[in-house]
Amino acid sequence: MELRRKLCIVVAVFVIVIEFASANFVFKVQHKFAGKRKKLEHFKSHDTRRHSRMLASIDLPLGGDSRVDSVGLYFTKIKLGSPPKEYHVQVDTGSDILWINCKPCPKCPTKTNLNFRLSLFDMNASSTSKKVGCDDDFCSFISQSDSCQPALGCSYHIVYADESTSDGKFIRDMLTLEQVTGDLKTGPLGQEVVFGCGSDQSGQLGNGESAVDGVMGFGQSNTSVLSQLAATGDAKRVFSHCLDNVKGGGIFAVGVVDSPKVKTTPMVPNQMHYNVMLMGMDVDGTSLDLPRSIVRNGGTIVDSGTTLAYFPKVLYDSLIETILARQPVKLHIVEETFQCFSFSTNVDEAFPPVSFEFEDSVKLTVYPHDYLFTLEEELYCFGWQAGGLTTDERSEVILLGDLVLSNKLVVYDLDNEVIGWADHNCSSSIKIKDGSGGVYSVGADNLSSAPRLLMITKLLTILSPLIVMAFTSLA
């Protein structure tokens, strides 16, 4: 059975056609660890919980596209309903729907350590909120016809590998974005979308200390907000992110990037995640032997929802050994997992870069300041991890998270089924363009200093809308 079906059962989804004025959008997003002292157990426990869900099957009727991690690395504010009300949601490239905790929800989280108050969406308080009924096309394509109860509407039940669950129903309501009509000029614009209204959460979803109001998924399924906004054919299913782990900050954009230019590699088809073909790997020119299953099955996943980078044990050992051959240090184990050492000079001058070569000769280089964490002064740890991740077919998996993706503009082009990247100063700006040829500079911003979600547009004559999210990623 193909990997996509092994990782998660996928069902065909019909998405309503939305009356959508071609537009560009900007979200401002913040890292969940912003303002906190980094602790490796935070990163490791986050990734462990996420991986138990990433590789899990999901109970029907919703199907396998709606997995979330227990706590998101990045969150943003969005507005839902009429009148619009603000909600904090995770931004996740590994899931496919927007869902919000709704009233009543006795098991939904009530507190968070992320410096904002949690809110429950109230259908009765929104004049534009509507249930998605059993006879709705959206429901008929994601649910068995005999499982939907007319009195409840189109509902979902999700079961994750760690036994966390989410239950609720689908509704239609207004998603309000801030429309940018020119440089630094904005105004509100609302679009109707279908999203999940969660009424019962359990496990980590119900009591996570870094809880948010919901999840905004940017996966490949037609259930995502991106796909819904692109349903008319005017919008392109293209998004990109640029994460700055040096100064903090970054950009998350949906639409065509004009500059910097990126080189692209094909996505592996028929996969649940963003898989690419890793053809080679080297440490400053010294090649490493890749497991055959990685090359043969395209078992390399790019995931911005994961913090570190995970390799099969044999490849991990070879990677660490080759790095230490270039710069010998005395390693000791921290928190039973992390290889750490004392060092007093510039790591970029002493340690070698690590390069990944993908299909079509596209390279991605990770520098020492990316793959080494500082716990305290002169104490460093490797961000590389021996993952032990496999599919149900026992094929080994490489998982490349923010450690590899930081300080680069990474572009996901779902329409052309390619992923590309380029080294970039993520605290600066990128240029984006719309279908009419207009080009705009978009830079990083801070959610705490300007808590809003922005959208850029060039009147109603634009042919290709563009969505842009600027965010802070404070390490």
Is CATH 2.40.70.10 the right assignment for the domain spanning 72-235? Answer: yes
Cα–Cα distances in angstroms (integers) from residue 37 to residues 47, 123, 208, 374, 377, in the given order:
18, 39, 19, 11, 13
pLDDT at residue 466 in the model: 35
Confidence of residue 101 (pLDDT cuts 50, 70, 90): very high
pLDDT at residue 25 in the model: 61
pLDDT at residue 408 in the model: 92
Length of the chain: 475
Task: Examine the pLDDT at 320 and tell me if it is beyond 90.
Answer: yes
The residues assigned a catalytic role are: 92, 303
pLDDT at residue 372 in the model: 92
Q: What is the mean pLDDT of residues 332-347?
A: 91
Same fold yes or no, 72-235 and 258-423: yes
Q: What is the mean pLDDT of residues 17-28?
A: 46
Q: What is the mean pLDDT of residues 35-39?
A: 49
Confidence of residue 326 (pLDDT cuts 50, 70, 90): very high
**Lowest-confidence pick of 59-68, 284-293, 389-398:** 59-68
Contacts of 177 (CB under 8 A, 6+ apart): 23, 25, 78, 79, 188, 189, 190, 191, 453, 454, 455
pLDDT at residue 185 in the model: 46
- Give per-residue pLDDT as tens, 429-455: 888 776 667 777 777 754 543 322 222
Which H or E run contains 229? Answer: helix 225-229
pLDDT at residue 335 in the model: 81
* C-alpha to C-alpha distance for 123 and 197, rounded to whole angstroms: 9
**Secondary-structure class of domain 258-423 per CATH:** mainly beta
Task: Examine the pLDDT at 69 and tell me if it is beyond 70.
Answer: no
Domain coordinates of the chain in residue numbers? 72-235, 258-423
Task: Examine the pLDDT at 406 and tell me if it is beyond 80.
Answer: yes
Residue 212: Cβ within 10 Å count: 24
Task: Examine the pLDDT at 120 and tell me if it is beyond 90.
Answer: yes
DSSP code for 49? H
Q: What is the mean pLDDT of residues 269-274?
A: 87
Dihedral sign, CA of 449, 452, 458, 464? positive
Beta bridge mates, 77: 88
* C-alpha to C-alpha distance for 68 and 51, rounded to whole angstroms: 10
Q: What is the mean pLDDT of residues 40-48?
A: 58
DSSP code for 235? S
Nearest to 203 by CA among 153, 158, 244: 158
Q: What is the mean pLDDT of residues 392-421?
A: 88
Q: What is the mean pLDDT of residues 274-299?
A: 90
- Residue 18 identity (one-letter amino acid): I
pLDDT at residue 223 in the model: 79
Q: What is the mean pLDDT of residues 245-263?
A: 80
Task: Examine the pLDDT at 181 and tell me if it is beyond 90.
Answer: no
**Lowest-confidence pick of 315-324, 402-411, 464-473:** 464-473
Beta bridge mates, 310: 385, 399
- Give per-residue pLDDT as tens, 192-207: 899 999 998 887 766 6
Task: Examine the pLDDT at 98 and tell me if it is beyond 80.
Answer: yes
Transcribe 52-74 into DSSP letters: HHHT----TTT-TT----SS-SE
In this structure, are residues 265 and 363 in contact, taking their beta carbons and an 8 Å threshold? no
- Give per-residue pLDDT as tens, 302-319: 987 777 899 999 999 999
pTM of the model: 0.77
Residue 352: Cβ within 10 Å count: 18
- Cα-to-chain-centroid distance, residue 463: 27
